[in-house]
Amino acid sequence: MFYPQEMSEIEIVVPAKDLLPVTKVLSSQGIFSQQDVNYLGSEKEPDQENRWQEKAAQYALLERHLQSIFQSLGLQDTTPSKQDYGELLEIEASEKTIDAIETMVKNAVDQISSLNKQIEHLQNLIQQISPISDIDLDISKLRNPRYLISTLGMMPPEQINRLKESLSRIPYVFYTLSQKGPKAVVFVATSRENEDMFARATRAGFLDPINLPEDQTGTPAEIITATKEQISECEAKIADLKKSLEVTQQEKRSELTDLLWKVRCSRMMTAAILHYGKLKYTYIIVGWVYSSQIESLKTKIKSVSKDALLESRIAKRVEEASEVPIALSNPGLIRPFQMLVRTYAEPRYSELDPTPLVAILFPLLFGAMFGDVGHGLILAILGAIVTSKKVKAFKGLASLGPIVLACGIFSMIFGFLYGSIFGYEEILHPLWMQPGKNIMTILIITIAGGMIVLSLGFLINIYNALKVKDWSLAFFNHNGVIGLVLYWSLIGLGLSALVPGFPIPIYIFVIASIIGVIGMMFSEVFIHLIEGHRPLIEGGFALFFVQAFFELFETVISYLSNSLSFVRVGAFAVAHGNLGAVFFILAEIVDPSKGIGYWLMFLLGLLFIVGFEGLIVGIQTMRLTYYEIFGKFFTGGGKKFEPLTLHPAENK
């Protein structure tokens, strides 16, 4: 729980005849993370290697075709009933099945696409001629005769006189056919020999031509009626085609889902084989396995390949920390908080898993800033709904549900401590204090709490360093022993100066601070001494002293800023209560009689506080966790454990 799961490296030498059964065992357990060792061996057979590469490519192509069919039929990539997916699928037979279904589906989809384009074209036609729908004239007669050029179009009525003036130097015919709203429908014609001047005049008059269909005859109203009938016919054909696709979907759903997973698993197995080392008659497989499962895996491999040779060793948490894949193992209640840790970084194999600490501190800090029984209850209910996955809109956020639920519960706890419910502070008696009436007290308490949390970060960092025997990191790092001594001595000096009659003599803190300053300034010298590096001081003493002084100054400032960062916890606690009071004042102003207006303003305030302020508090909580707490001890840089698995539910 406090460390990533212990891992063992396993090396397997498998006879070529047992390759597939062993691969099936390794892939079906979900406990084996493969290493690429295809560079091993000096007697590779190119034909064999090419054969597996070709198979992997063929399975990948089949998978893409199946996914295209799923998309065309509107099928979801669901988990099939549990079956044995550990055998390689026959490619030729599968290709025939997939091609037959794909051809049938593609023909229907192509026809639907063609009909939709036809409908779009017909709708554009209606849109083009609808401005002249009330003109009782066969539009074929408006098409340009041999010696005339004409335009039927729409233009602003105020531009008509301007257009006529522009055309006054040439013979022309002008008719205003109708006027609807801000546009007039006009017909203009002249002889072809005046085409250039005609074109310039119509452009200057803002005449927007109506494109008449070349293949249509009759009045505009008749054309529109006929076109609508064509659209209805196309829509009926589309409905029939969609119905046939629905029938295909129902008939082929189970077959296609099963086939997709067989293809997918075949592709995964062949891809895994490509990463094996290959000798003349054997394959070499290397990877990582949970140490608790190593014996079980060996037994299963031996059951399918008696000639397989297996060796394993437990990975040490010191020397191989960067090579071992990380699998976090936490109890169900705190497992959702692994997401917050992994968003920051994957833990290293050698360091403590911070998930248990985050599972306590994250909702605790959130609740302290967002303390209200009513608001916390809403968050808790929302978190429970998201976690349940019963609302489709929240399915993608299911992993956040338990975190929101925990934050809501802690907000309710602090709500009772603060005596606040939906912003009211007169109903509940505070079990502790009301932040708005004890501003200085709450700010001091949150800073003190921050100092405790930061000190815990120092201690965890020291423990991690001692665990891997990194003495320089443990003792002389800014977050090591010497940093902790300096931090505590500065806190002690501050308390001695501010608190009359402080029980611990000030000289103790003075001595500790001197030790801390010396240790911090000369940390590089001590590190070189421990590591046997010479010279102890590089670049001359003067340069070293200046650099050490400014590093010390920067460190002290960072300790101060880290501690004061926690003042935001108290500040948000005060602001949260006051924000609720503001909306009550606004509600009173809107409706003093406490009618519908009052409660609408109350509801608006509730949405703002729970939604917007809740989001801001969550961001601030994450910032404190990542930058102030993790910054003291969490290095990260591990790689996630990604096991081979053929079971559909585990692949999802």
Confidence of residue 48 (pLDDT cuts 50, 70, 90): low
- Same domain? For 111 and 255 the reply is yes
Reference 129, options 153, 157, 160; nearest CA is 153
Residue 244 lies in a domain: yes
Confidence of residue 651 (pLDDT cuts 50, 70, 90): very low
- Same domain? For 258 and 288 the reply is no
Q: What is the pLDDT of residue 84?
A: 62
Question: Cα–Cα distances in Å, from 270 out to 34, 88, 91, 512, 597?
Answer: 13, 8, 13, 63, 67
Last residue of a domain, one of 295, 324, 353: 324
Q: What is the CATH number of the domain that holds 199?
A: 3.30.70.2750
Query: Collapsing DSSP states into helix, strand and coil, what is residue 137?
Result: coil
Last residue of a domain, one of 187, 211, 235: 211
Residue 112 lies in a domain: yes
pLDDT at residue 45 above 90? no
Mean pLDDT to the nearest integer, 226-243: 91
Q: What is the CATH number of the domain that holds 315?
A: 3.30.70.120
Mean pLDDT computed over every residue of the chain: 87
Confidence of residue 321 (pLDDT cuts 50, 70, 90): low
Confidence of residue 648 (pLDDT cuts 50, 70, 90): low
Confidence of residue 209 (pLDDT cuts 50, 70, 90): confident
- Same domain? For 284 and 238 the reply is no
Q: What is the pLDDT of residue 426?
A: 83
Mean pLDDT to the nearest integer, 603-609: 92
Mean pLDDT to the nearest integer, 447-453: 95
Number of domains present in the structure of the chain: 3
pLDDT at residue 208 above 70? yes
pLDDT at residue 650 above 50? no
Residue 289's DSSP bridge partners are 8, 32
Asked whether 129 and 218 are in contact (CB, 8 A), the reply is: no
Last residue of a domain, one of 211, 229, 259: 211
Q: What is the pLDDT of residues 66-97, one digit of tens each?
A: 888 888 888 887 766 656 666 788 888 888 88
With the C-alpha atoms ordered 466, 469, 473, 475, is the resulting torsion angle positive or negative?
Answer: positive
Q: What is the pLDDT of residue 542?
A: 84
Helical spans, DSSP H, in 468-566: 471-476, 481-498, 506-521, 523-531, 541-564
Q: What percent of the chain has pLDDT over 70?
A: 93
Q: Which two tokens stand for residue 201?
A: 């005049």
Name the one residue in this structure whose structure tokens are 């405790």: 452
Confidence of residue 27 (pLDDT cuts 50, 70, 90): confident
Q: What is the DSSP string of 443-474?
A: HHHHHHHHHHHHHHHHHHHHHHHHHTT-HHHH
pLDDT at residue 254 above 80? yes
Q: What is the pLDDT of residue 47?
A: 59
Mean pLDDT to the nearest integer, 259-288: 88
Residue 148 lies in a domain: yes
- Same domain? For 300 and 241 the reply is no
- Same domain? For 263 and 281 the reply is no
Residue 179's domain comprises 144-211
Q: What is the pLDDT of residue 80?
A: 65
Q: What is the pLDDT of residue 652?
A: 40
Confidence of residue 580 (pLDDT cuts 50, 70, 90): confident
- Same domain? For 154 and 286 the reply is no
Q: What is the CATH number of the domain that holds 65?
A: 1.20.1460.20
Q: What is the pLDDT of residues 101-156, one digit of tens each?
A: 888 888 988 999 999 999 998 888 787 777 777 777 776 766 656 778 888 888 88
Confidence of residue 2 (pLDDT cuts 50, 70, 90): confident
- Same domain? For 62 and 80 the reply is yes
Asked whether 320 and 295 are in contact (CB, 8 A), the reply is: no
Residue 424's DSSP bridge partners are 421
Residue 262 lies in a domain: yes
Reference 371, options 379, 361, 382; nearest CA is 379
Q: What is the pLDDT of residue 408?
A: 96
- Same domain? For 281 and 263 the reply is no
- Same domain? For 230 and 300 the reply is no
Residue 170 lies in a domain: yes
Higher pLDDT, 595 or 215: 595
- Same domain? For 153 and 90 the reply is no
Residue 202 lies in a domain: yes
Mean pLDDT to the nearest integer, 208-224: 78
Mean pLDDT to the nearest integer, 387-401: 79
Residue 173 lies in a domain: yes
pLDDT at residue 593 above 90? no
Q: What is the pLDDT of residue 614?
A: 93
Residue 20 lies in a domain: yes
Q: What is the pLDDT of residues 324-354, one digit of tens each?
A: 999 998 888 899 999 999 999 999 888 899 9
Q: What is the pLDDT of residue 83?
A: 60
Q: Is the peptide bond before 503 cis (omega within 30 degrees of 0)?
A: no
Q: What is the pLDDT of residue 320?
A: 58
- Same domain? For 170 and 115 the reply is no
Query: Collapsing DSSP states into helix, strand and coil, what is residue 189?
Result: strand
- Same domain? For 115 and 153 the reply is no
Query: Which amino acid is it at 447?
Result: I
